[in-house]
């Protein structure tokens, strides 16, 4: 094996240092780029999870009238609801139905709450028509509506056509420390844990 001269060895060492420096520079740029992209990737993933959760009802379409049987002018029973696309990381679901047009859609003053369910199993896929509290999926808890009842209360608008927001939330936790809470208490507790949400809007006007 031929020995390298001092000058040749120095040149070889310089070349090796240059290769190491270039490699480290590339790795550093890659790390910086990864750190910069992560927040955007997380936001996109969260948006995709939110968009994948879907709430529908076989009784009425989005933005259409809710049948009378589910209101105070009918049988006053809950409508059938189905959902899909619950994120894999979900531990529980929350369902809230409220009316932001109370008392008069032309001059709304409050949001009237009709139904509050929390700790629905993440594995659940819907609720049948007229489901009773005893027939809810195991583990489901019922909060108080604005009639101060732990039940469903159907649309009963005093004037005009109101919108009824059926809101479904997927949470990465099971809620605890609540005792027959109202909508505000459930929302405050669940807010840090929401990973996806969906909404279905139905309308109703008395006598129509």
In this structure, the number of other CB atoms found within 10 A of the CB of residue 186 comes to 23
Same domain for 11 and 63? Answer: no
Same domain for 152 and 64? Answer: yes
Final residue of a structural domain among 26, 52, 78: 52
Q: How far apart are CA 53 and CA 168, in angstroms?
A: 9
Same domain for 167 and 185? Answer: yes
pTM of the model: 0.77
Report pLDDT digits (tens) over 28-68: 776 665 565 555 544 444 444 445 999 999 999 999 999 99
Instruction: Please state which of the ranges 8-22, 45-59, 105-119, 186-200 shows the lowest mean pLDDT.
Output: 8-22
| C-alpha closest to that of 113 among 137, 148, 83 | 148
| C-alpha closest to that of 158 among 118, 116, 204 | 204
Range of the domain at 186: 53-204
**pLDDT surpasses 70 at 182:** yes
Buried b (16+ CB within 10 A) or exposed e, 49-71: bbeebebbbebbeeeeebebebb
Number of folded domains that form the chain: 2
Final residue of a structural domain among 10, 37, 52: 52
Same domain for 109 and 145? Answer: yes
Q: Six-digit token pair at 79?
A: 């409508």
Strands 92-102 and 162-171: antiparallel
Same domain for 34 and 65? Answer: no
**pLDDT surpasses 90 at 129:** yes
Same domain for 36 and 73? Answer: no
Q: Mean pLDDT throughout 8-15?
A: 66
At 16 the pLDDT is: 72
Average pLDDT of the chain? 89
Same domain for 27 and 103? Answer: no
Q: Mean pLDDT throughout 184-190?
A: 98
Same domain for 97 and 26? Answer: no
């Amino acid at each position: 094996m031929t020995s390298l001269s001092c000058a040749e060895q120095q040149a070889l060492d310089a070349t090796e240092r240059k290769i190491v420096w270039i490699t480290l520079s590339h790795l550093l740029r890659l790390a910086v780029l990864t750190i910069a992209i992560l927040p955007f990737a997380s936001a996109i993933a969260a948006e995709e999870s939110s968009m994948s959760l879907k709430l529908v009802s076989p009784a009425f379409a989005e933005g259409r009238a809710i049948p009378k049987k589910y209101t105070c002018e009918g049988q006053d029973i809950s409508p059938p609801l189905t959902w899909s696309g619950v994120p894999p990381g979900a531990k529980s679901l929350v369902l809230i139905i409220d009316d932001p047009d109370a008392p008069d859609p032309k001059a709304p003053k409050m949001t009237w709450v009709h139904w509050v369910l929390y700790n629905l199993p993440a594995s659940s896929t819907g609720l049948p028509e007229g489901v009773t509290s005893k027939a809810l999926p195991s583990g489901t808890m019922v909060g108080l509506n604005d009639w101060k009842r732990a039940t469903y209360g159907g649309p009963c608008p005093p004037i005009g056509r109101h919108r009824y927001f059926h809101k479904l939330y997927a949470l990465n936790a099971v809620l605890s420390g609540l005792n027959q809470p109202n909508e505000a208490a459930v929302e405050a507790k669940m807010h840090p844990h929401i990973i996806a949400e969906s909404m279905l809007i139905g309308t109703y006007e008395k006598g129509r």
